Amino acid sequence: MTNEDARRQAEEAEHRYRAEITNVMNAVIRTCAHILDHHSNGRTWTPRAPNTHHTDLITQARRDILNRLQLTIHQAEAATYAIEAHRQQHQPPHPRRPNE
């Protein structure tokens, strides 16, 4: 492999990394927007039946907000960890700056 091939592959990998990170962050933002649009009123959570027992509110909060956010965040974390692992395996580390 020539230096030019290695440089081109590194640039392509960097482009894929940026695209994947952008995609997963957009998924997090879309999930937040969906929750705001469908489960809030004036940027505050609006339970469907606010006078219900607290255990019902907990169930509703998990179903409507927490589980959805956790899943999306876990997916974003998994993607970023995979990118970091791939980069460590396939590319040399960034050169350190003199002050580091």
pLDDT in tens, 64-96: 999 999 999 999 999 999 999 988 887 665 556
Alpha-carbon distance values, 71 to 39, 42, 54, 61, 75 (Å): 17, 25, 23, 14, 6
Locate all alpha helices (DSSP H) within the chain, ordered by sequence.
3-39, 54-61, 67-90
Question: Whole-prediction pTM value?
Answer: 0.77
> pLDDT tens digits for 22-59?
999 999 999 999 999 988 888 888 887 778 899 999 99
Q: Is the pLDDT of residue 1 over 80?
A: no
